[in-house]
Homo-oligomer: A and B are copies of this chain.
Amino acid sequence: MKVLQKPTNARGTRDFGPKEMALRSYVFSIIKGHFEAFGFQTIETPAIENLSVLTGKYGDEGDQLLFKIVNSGDYLSKVIGDPLALGSKALLPQIAEKGLRYDLTVPFARFVAMNRNDIAFPFRRSQIQPVWRADRPQKGRYREFYQCDADIIGSDSLVNEAELIALFQSIFESLKLRTNLIINSRKILAGIVDRLGATDLFVAFAVAIDKLDKIGWDAVALELSANGFQTNQIDALQKLFNFEGTNATKIELLADFFADNTLGLEGLAEIQTVLRLADLNGFDNSNLIFDFKLARGLSYYTGLIYEGKSVDVPFGSIVGGGRYDNLTAAFGLPNMSGVGISFGIERIIDVMRELDLFPSIQISASKLLLTYFDEAGQALAINISNQLRKANIPSEVYPDIAKIKKSFEFADKKGIPFVGVIGDQEIKDQTVSVKEMKNGEQHVLSISDLIQYMSAK
């Protein structure tokens, strides 16, 4: 006999069994429901994209983290040069033309560019699909994970930002997860470096302060210094960043700081407008926090940016997003402003688990297991189960004529809440003895009464 392999998941990937799927479905269906309520139309794009679409969109590091697919057939035959002399990096584009999507944003931009004539703009699109990154796997970070995005593209109105904030509030209200939503604007960050006299150092500035939460001020100050910031600039920045206050006092402070800086004032006005529009949404918006230290890593944001955090598990963000003006330009469609929000679904699930926020969810699909002692009982069980299903009562038939004890153990292990037994008397009377597993309560019911009884459960 040949030695059998002990199978494993590929590194950094996971199976989701019924229990995990029940929790995931709970979160996904709430998010999907709100996406629909807000008028977002779902699209799906393929997992496989041409590397020409993906490469160069995520920076050098991103390019390296793309999963690349070997060309079909005799892939070496088209290689120009000696593979070994070329080396892994130079050979790669010659043997791999396709890759797995790295996020949903670039495929979305491609989709919009390709379908520009059929789309009614502003286009509210939602997309919930897995993405792949050849990252080093670690706790809570996987190589295959879902993203969950909503974007409104083709309009520069700040009403859209307000709509996404309302979407954020309504989703987390439903999930019963307490959150803060931190907002800022790229224009405010640009205004700050302008006023510091460091306009040219904007990128280094944004990259450095994006790490503030993780590495702290001292390390950020060192990084700023290493990137060319003067001591007096860093001191001025520290003074600004040390300010604590309400949204209103922060806006006042910055209005003073910006003086006549157009970009900064524009960003500030946008923050004020968005806060005003958001306050019309009917939610408690006291969790909307203007924080001009927020930077967001991604380079394509051009306007408002935001980040959602759990109040009770504050480490790391669970939502991110912002406005972009040029996402589709790389695909030949310039001047298409949009704003998006991405729900970090994997982290949201982790946080909800940590806070024990999942309601008690039935893991089994079936509400009732039908079991029996003989062929006549089996026949009745098959018939009744199909009547139950037509009445929207998920049920299953135990497949074997076995000891009743065995079917009860099965129902218990699987978490099926009710077991219906069909014995001689039940066959004669066309009834079912139904038992509730959690409390042992038992009833003998006619088929129509059973349907009524189970419908109410």
Contacts and interface: CB of A to CB of B under 8 A. Distances in A.
Given A7-B53, A83-B84, A84-B83, A68 B70 contact: yes
Contacts of A82: 84
B70 A44 contact: no
A355 interface: no
Interface in A319-334: 329-332
Interface in A148-200: 152, 155, 157, 159-160, 162-163, 166, 170
A203 B377 CA distance: 40
Nearest to A161: B399
Copies in the assembly, this chain:
2
A286 interface: no
A386 B392 CA distance: 31
A41 interface: yes
Query: Chain A at the B interface: mostly helix, strand, loop or mixed?
Result: mixed
A213 interface: no
Contacts of A134: 72
Interface string A353-371: 0000000000111100000
Interface of A: 4-10, 13-18, 21, 25, 34-50, 52-53, 64, 67-70, 72-77, 82-84, 87-89, 91-92, 95-96, 98, 100, 110-111, 113-115, 118-122, 124-125, 130, 132, 134, 143-144, 152, 155, 157, 159-160, 162-163, 166, 170, 277, 280-283, 329-332, 363-366, 378-379, 382-383, 386-387, 389-390, 392-397, 399-400, 410, 413-414, 416
Given A15-B114, A18-B125, 17 more contacts: A4-B329, A9-B50, A10-B46, A15-B43, A16-B43, A21-B44, A38-B396, A41-B364, A41-B365, A48-B132, A70-B92, A122-B399, A159-B400, A163-B382, A166-B386, A280-B382, A282-B390
